[in-house]
Every structure is written in C-alpha cells, then in structure tokens.
Amino acid sequence: MAIYYYAIMLGISILLTVVYAFIFHKHFDPNITIMVILIPIINLAFVFMALSKTPEEAVIPLKISYLGGCYVLLSTLFLIINTCGIKTKAWMKAVFFVVSTAVYVTALTIGYSDIFYVGLPKIGEAYGASYLYDKHYGFMHTVFYVLVAVYYLIIVAAIVYSFFKKKQVPRIILILISISVTIAMIGFFGARLITNKIELLPITYNVGMAIYIIIVSRLRLYNPSDSVIDSLVQKGDTGFISFDNKMRYLGSNETAKKMIPELNELMIDKPINGNPWFMENILPLIKEFESDEEKNKHLLERDGKTYFINVNRLVLTHLWHAHKGYQFLITDDTANQQYIKLIKTYNSQLEEEVIKKTRSILDMQDKLVMGMARMVEGRDNSTGGHIKRTSDGVRILMGEIMKENELGLSEEFCKDIIKAAPMHDLGKITVDDQILRKPGRFTPEEFEAMKTHAAEGARIVGQILEGTEDKEFARIAVNVAHYHHERWDGSGYPCKLKGEEIPLEARIMAIADVYDALVSKRVYKEKMSFDEAHDIIMSGMGSQFDKSLEKYYLAARPALEEYYKHADS
C-alpha cells in the first residue's frame, strides 16, 4: 500500500537525520544541516497528504511540501558555491533567499487565493493512499517551476565550471552533487510522466539526503585544517583557556590542564575569584591586557619550565565580532628561554670586554650574531645564503644613501643597520620545522604561522640585546627584525604600520630583503632576471617601499647587479 511507502520514506529520512546527528561536526556546511532538517519535515507532509480525506485536509501538508523546491534546492546551490569556492557577494545570496521566500509565501496562499493554485485540487485514492489530481495552477506556480529550473541550471553551470576550472575541488564531490540534483529534478519534472497517483519526491529526497551525508563525510577529508585544529586543541603543544567577561571559567583543552593542573579545580561557568593561584597569576595578566592590549605576551615560570602566554579577546564571529571574554594561548617556551638565557650570558661576557675596550671581543659578538642568524637560516630549506646577501645589499644601499647624506644620518646609524641586518629573520627560530623546511609554497595557515617570525624576532632580538650599552643599536636591530615586512601603504605585517610610521632602518631592510628574494632561487621558484626584479621593485615604490628611497636604489642598482652576478644564490 502507498501509505506504507510514504511511512517508510519518512522513517528512512529520520534515520538519516539521526546518522547525521551522530557524525555532526561544527565545521560541516550549514546548508547540509538545513537540508537534513527540511527533508524529514517534507516527508512527514507527504504522509499527512496521503492520509487526508478531503482537499481541505491536504492543503497544509501540500504547502509544506513546497519547502523542497524553494529551500532544499537553494541550499544545494549555496553548498556547491561554498564547496567550489566560487566568489559571490553576500547580497547575491540574500537575493536568492528573498526570491525563494517570496515564492514560498505565495504557496501559503493555497486555499485563500488563486495566485498559486486556482481553487483546490480534487482528492482521490489509489494504492491505499490519497492523492491530489485535477490541479489548476496559478501564475506563481509557473514562477515556482521557473525558479526550480533556474536553480538547477545555475547548479549545473557551477559544477561544469568547477570541473574544468577549479583544480582544488574534489571531483568525487562534484559527481555526487550532480547525481543528487539530477535525481531531484527527475522527481520534480519527470515523476508526472510515470504516475500522478503516487509521489516520487520522497524517495528522491532520501537518496539526495544519503548522498549529502556521504558528501559531508568526505568534505572533511579534503579540509585538513579541521582535523589539524581539532588535534591542536585536544592533543597539540598549545594550551587553550577561555574565560568570559565576568571572569567565569569557560573551558580548556587537555594540553592546558597538563601545563596548569589547577585548571582541574575550576568549575565551568564559575568565577575564578575563589582560586588563589588564578587570582595571583591570571587575573593580573587580564587587568594589564585591559589597560593596554599591546601587553598581551607574558612568561610564566613554574616546575622548572617556562611557558609563553598570549592573551587575546575571545571573539564570536557569528555575533558581529562581539567580545565575549578572554582566551589564553600557552606554549612551552622552556627551550627557547634557555637559548635566550645562554645568548644573554654571552652578551654579558661581551659587555664586560667592551668595557675593557677589547676590539677582539666586539668582533666575536658580530660573529656570534652572524652565527645565530646562520643557525636559523640553516633550518630553512629555501633561503640559503640569504643572510649574507641581504646584509651586503643593505651595505650597498647605505653606501649610496651616505654619499650625499641628504637624510642627515650619522655614520653610526649606517654601521648599526648593516650590523643589524643579519638579525632580521631571527624570529624564524620559533617557527615549526615542518613549516620552515617545507619544500614548496605555504598554505594560508602556514603563511600566517610564518608571519609570526617578525614579532617573535623583535622579542628575541630585544632580549638578546637587553642590557647592552649601545641602546641605539639595540633599537635599530629590534626595528629591523620587527618591521621589515611592513609596507608603505599599510598593508604589511605584523602591525600594518603606514608611511613614516615604519622606522627608516626597516624601510631600507625591506628593499634589500625583497630584492634578494626576487633574484635568488627558491625551492618553489627560479630566480628572476635583474630587469624583472627591477620592474617589480620600481612598481612597489610608493606602495610597498618608501618612494623617497627610490633614487638611492637606482643609484645602487649597478652595484647590486654586479654583486649578485657573483653571489651564491
């Protein structure tokens, strides 16, 4: 009997919903969730329609059944757009949604207006279930069919475009979506050619629903960032702790609990006020962060280890970037701090010798700095010889700048920036080996990790040179490490400084750094010709680089090219 068919289809859709609930992950595309919710509701409507005895009883489930054409297909369209990475404006999606809603609202007028249905269809019985016939469609029902057809054509066009143009879109996903949408279209337009006494849409919806569950399971395989984030949060080397604005504990991962066992004493949603350890060690960090958000990095020493703590706002992006509390990122910085302490020990020895005016020790300091820089460079597969070449590039540029010295720079400034140049990439010592030694281009996530080397380099250089009598050199070295990736137009990192906010020494370093990257070979590219590199440098004057340094670069160009002809790149 047909009523059993509808009931079985409802049961299958509910079962698939339960399966989806068990495998659900917060990173699933919300459009699939919408479809998984709507399809059982639509199938339930078909059950009630089959049980109806009069047209009036069938009206409400009939209206509900139109959710499929208006919203399930729309969610499929949004899914393919998101999956294929097709760029669309937010207003375009809003227009699609408004149009679908407008059409569905007219479907709700069935029984009250002739705009969607002219009168009510008749009801008959076949195979033990009721069915509707003698339907007279209004103008908006034609619009509904047009809407469904348009959505289908757009989806097909997106799939075909992605299949041939989008190399990073999994082909199996495109094929599965194609199968699902094609089956749905058969249910919409082809079922009437087979029979009008039993609805085939429920089975097409269930097949599509099963396919979407397969799709969502496979999509996570193609998005390693999800698994990486989960692994980082639960088992990684970084601890995470969250508090709300009222200093109530929200939670932490297992790594944080191992670093700070006192977390096991806290209760979720309870303030930390009653815990002495957190009042003494955590609350002051939050108060300092509130007074100045730049003061968000701290070191915590306990049990023979040193932990690096980064305090940030807890932001919920889906609530208009609302600040809901504080998040602590904690990493074991013991080895790095021991290294820095070792370097500081060396610095102390060097300072004592400087006081004794022993030039040989000053030379040793220079060699030590260069050795450190080369040690960092030795971890990086892609920048062999970069330290020496950029240092020589800075020396050549400074030679031209100091010829007429229109900038009014001191001789000591010139010497200091040349001396500081090898330290500009020291921050890479904090970058994970898997990223630093990767034989190819970085992913966006890896590039974000790499970008931290500028701020970390400033921190390390500052600690290395802490206490040195040459305060001016320390300032220049920190600035070179911190800001050599800033851009004149403000689009650089890590601080997005603009124009003359960027220290002059960092602006000079930036030209030498970029020039070397262009004319040197990397694992992911061949070296450029001098003319190509020159064109890029010149095109960046006024946007990436300080326009006022252009004439010095032009004057230094012959010497730079002559140097790089013989440099080991």
Amino acid making up residue 546: D
SS3 label, residue 528: coil
pLDDT score, position 358: 45
Alpha helices (H) in 24-170, listed in sequence order: 30-51, 55-65, 67, 73-84, 90-107, 139-165
Lowest pLDDT segment from 32-36, 92-96, 345-349, 391-395: 345-349
Buried (b) or exposed (e) across 359-377, using 16+ Cβ within 10 A? eebeebbeeebbebbeebb
Q: Which residues of the chain form CATH 3.30.450.20?
A: 228-332
Q: What is the pLDDT of residues 217-250, one digit of tens each?
A: 776 555 545 555 555 555 567 888 888 888 888 8
Q: Is residue 377 predicted with pLDDT exceeding 90? A: no
Of the pLDDT bands very low, low, confident and very high (cuts 50, 70, 90), residue 194 is low
- Which part of the chain is CATH 1.20.1070? 2-222
What number is the average pLDDT over the span 537-541? 94
The overall average pLDDT reported for the chain is 83
- Distance, CA of 522 to CA of 438 (rounded, Å): 11
Question: What percent of the chain has a predicted confidence (pLDDT) above 90?
Answer: 28
Length of the chain: 569
**115: amino acid identity, one letter:** I
Structure confidence at residue 384 (pLDDT): 54
Cβ-based neighbours of 350, under 8 Å, separated by 6 or more: 361, 362, 364, 365, 368
Taking alpha carbons only, the member of 9, 26, 138 closest to residue 68 is 9
The alpha helices in 282-410, defined as continuous H runs, are: 283-291, 334-355, 359-378, 386-404
Counts for the chain of helices (H) and strands (E), in that order: 25, 7
Structure tokens at 110: 């069935």
131 — pLDDT class (breaks 50, 70, 90)? confident
Dump pLDDT digits (tens) for 389-432.
888 999 999 999 988 888 889 889 988 999 888 888 888 888 88
What value does the mean pLDDT take over residues 37-41? 93
Q: Is the pLDDT of residue 453 over 80?
A: yes
Distance, CA of 253 to CA of 454 (rounded, Å):
28
Could you give the 3-state DSSP secondary structure of residue 332?
strand
| Pair 528, 518: CB distance under 8 Å | yes
Give the pLDDT band (50/70/90) at residue 318. Answer: very low
Dihedrals phi, psi of 323, to nearest 5 degrees: -80, 110
Q: How confident is the model at residue 320 (pLDDT cuts 50, 70, 90)?
A: very low
pLDDT at residue number 16: 92
Domain spanning 337-566, CATH class: mainly alpha
Q: How far apart are the first and last CA of the chain?
A: 79
| DSSP per-residue codes, 18-56 | HHHHHH--TTS-HHHHHHHHHHHHHHHHHHHHHH-SSHH
Q: Which CATH class is domain 2-222?
A: mainly alpha
Distance CA 434, CA 446 (A): 9
Instruction: Give the pLDDT of residue 547.
Output: 94
pTM score: 0.46
Question: Which residue ranges does the chain devote to CATH 1.10.3210.10?
Answer: 337-566
CATH superfamily of 228-332: PAS domain (3.30.450.20)
* Distance of alpha carbon 352 from alpha carbon 226, whole angstroms: 52
Cis bond upstream, residue 444 (ω within 30) = no
